[in-house]
Amino acid sequence: MFKGKDIVSIRDLREEEMEKIFEIARDMIPIAKGEKREEYLRGYVLANLFFEPSTRTRMSFEAAMDRLGGKVLGFSNPSATSISKGETLADTIRMFDAYSDVIVIRHPLEGAARLAADFAEHPVINAGDGAGQHPTQTLLDIFTIVQEFGHVDGLKITLMGDLRYGRTVHSLAIALSYLDADVHLLSPRTLKMPKHIIREMKREPEIHERLEDVIEDTDVFYVTRIQKERFPDPTEYMKVAGSYSITKEHVKKMKDRAIIMHPLPRVNEIDPEVDYTPHARYFKQAFYGVPIRMAILALVLGVIE
Amino acid sequence: MTDQVLKVQKIKNGIVIDHIPCGMALKVLKILGIEGDIGSTVTLAMHVKSKNGWKDVVKIEDRYLDERELDKIALIAPTATVNIVKDYKVVTKHRVKVPDVVKGIVKCMNPRCITNQNEPIEPEFKVVSKDKIIIKCRYCGREMDSEDIVENIL
Ligand SMILES: Nc1ncnc2c1ncn2[C@@H]1O[C@H](COP(=O)(O)OP(=O)(O)O)[C@@H](O)[C@H]1O
Ligand SMILES: [Zn+2]
Buried b (16+ CB within 10 A) or exposed e, A32-64: beeeeeeebbeebbbbbbbbbebeebbebbbbb
Compute the mean pLDDT over every residue in chain B, rounded to the nearest whole number. 91
Lowest-pLDDT choice from A2-6, A82-86, A297-301: A82-86
Would strands A182-186 and A206-208 be described as parallel, antiparallel, or unpaired? Answer: parallel
CB contact under 8 A, A111 and B143: no
Q: In terms of Cα–Cα distance, which of A11, A133, A174 is closest to B126? A: A11
User: What average pLDDT does the segment A250-255 reach?
Assistant: 97
Would strands A102-107 and B101-103 be described as parallel, antiparallel, or unpaired? Answer: unpaired
A267 forms bridges with which residues in the sheet?
A: none
Q: In terms of Cα–Cα distance, which of A147, A149, A173 is closest to A159? A: A173
B108 CB neighbours in chain A (<8 A) are 111
A110 in B contact zone (CB under 8 Å): yes
- Please report how many Cα atoms fall inside a 13 Å half-sphere around the Cα of residue A5, on the Cβ side: 21
| Separation between Cα atoms, residue A24 and residue A83, nearest integer Å | 35
State the architecture of A10-133+288-300 in CATH terms.
3-Layer(aba) Sandwich (3.40)
User: Which fold does the domain A135-286 belong to in CATH?
Assistant: Rossmann fold (3.40.50)
User: What average pLDDT does the segment A230-252 reach?
Assistant: 88
Report chain B's C-alpha Rg in angstroms. Answer: 16
Output helix, strand, coil percentages for chain A, rounded to the nearest 5: 45, 15, 40
Ranges of each domain in chain B: 14-95, 101-152
| Separation between Cα atoms, residue B139 and residue B116, nearest integer Å | 11
Q: Which residues contact B144 (CB under 8 A, 6 or more apart)?
A: B106, B108, B109, B125, B134, B135, B136, B137, B152
Atom of ligand 1 nearest to the CA of B8: 4
Q: In terms of Cα–Cα distance, which of B139, B123, B120 is closest to A114? A: B139
Lowest-pLDDT choice from A51-60, A66-75, A209-218, A225-234: A225-234
Peptide bond into A108 cis (omega under 30): no
How do residues B47-101 score in pLDDT, each as one tens digit?
999 888 999 999 999 999 998 899 999 999 999 999 999 999 999 998 999 999 9
Would strands B42-50 and B53-61 be described as parallel, antiparallel, or unpaired? Answer: antiparallel
Q: Which residues contact A255 (CB under 8 A, 6 or more apart)?
A: A216, A217, A218, A219
- Confidence at B2, pLDDT banded by 50, 70, 90: low
| Separation between Cα atoms, residue A151 and residue A77, nearest integer Å | 39
- Confidence at A180, pLDDT banded by 50, 70, 90: very high
CB contact under 8 A, A132 and B140: yes
Mutate to test the pocket of ligand 1, among B2, B18, B63 (most ligand atoms within 8 A of CB): B18
Residues in chain B: 154
Max CA separation in chain B (angstroms): 55
SS3 B153: strand
Chain A (185-204) residues lying within 8 Å, Cβ to Cβ, of chain B: 196
ipTM metric = 0.88
- Whole-model pTM? 0.87
To the nearest whole percent, how much of chain B has pLDDT over 90?
77
Question: Is there a contact between A213 and A150 (Cβ–Cβ < 8 Å)?
Answer: no
Checking if the pLDDT of A130 tops 90, the result is: no
The number of C-beta contacts closer than 8 angstroms across A and B is: 55
SS3 A131: coil
Q: Which listed ligand is nearest to B136 at the C-alpha? A: 2
pLDDT at position A223: 97
- Confidence at B10, pLDDT banded by 50, 70, 90: confident
Checking if the pLDDT of B4 tops 70, the result is: no
How do residues B135-149 score in pLDDT, each as one tens digit?
999 999 999 998 899
A131 in B contact zone (CB under 8 Å): yes
Question: What is the number of H-type helices and E-type strands within chain A?
Answer: 10, 9
pLDDT at position A83: 65
B110 CB neighbours in chain A (<8 A) are 110
Task: Concatenate the DSSP letters of all residues of A199-224 into one string.
Answer: HHSSSPPEEES-GGGTTTT-SEEEE-
Atom of ligand 1 nearest to the CA of B5: 27
> What phi and psi, each to the nearest 5 degrees, are found at residue A25?
-60, -35
Checking if the pLDDT of B36 tops 70, the result is: yes
pLDDT at position B57: 95
How do residues A138-160 score in pLDDT, each as one tens digit?
999 999 999 999 999 999 999 99
Which residues keep their CB under 5 angstroms from ion ligand 2? B 108, 110, 113, 137, 139-140, 142
Atom of ligand 1 nearest to the CA of B85: 1
- Confidence at B21, pLDDT banded by 50, 70, 90: very high
- Please report how many Cα atoms fall inside a 13 Å half-sphere around the Cα of residue B1, on the Cβ side: 6
Which helix (H) or strand (E) is A149 found in, with range?
helix A135-149
- Confidence at A251, pLDDT banded by 50, 70, 90: very high
Q: Is B55 close to ligand 1, i.e. is its CB under 6 Å away?
A: no
Nearest-Cα distance to chain A for B24, in Å, is 25
Nearest-Cα distance to chain A for B123, in Å, is 11
Nearest-Cα distance to chain A for B111, in Å, is 9
| Separation between Cα atoms, residue B142 and residue B140, nearest integer Å | 6
- Confidence at B8, pLDDT banded by 50, 70, 90: low
User: What average pLDDT does the segment A167-186 reach?
Assistant: 95
Ranges of each domain in chain A: 10-133+288-300, 135-286
Checking if the pLDDT of A259 tops 70, the result is: yes
To the nearest whole percent, how much of chain A has pLDDT over 90?
81
Nearest-Cα distance to chain B for A136, in Å, is 17
pLDDT at position A163: 95
How do residues A48-100 score in pLDDT, each as one tens digit?
999 988 888 999 999 999 999 999 999 987 776 666 678 899 999 999 999 99
Nearest to A109 among B114, B138, B143 (CB): B114
Q: Specify whether domain B101-152 bears CATH 3.20.20.70.
A: no
| Separation between Cα atoms, residue B130 and residue B76, nearest integer Å | 10
Fold match between domain A10-133+288-300 and domain A135-286: yes
State the architecture of B14-95 in CATH terms.
2-Layer Sandwich (3.30)
Mutate to test the pocket of ligand 1, among B48, B83, B84, B94 (most ligand atoms within 8 A of CB): B83
Q: In terms of Cα–Cα distance, which of A91, A47, A43 is closest to A70? A: A43
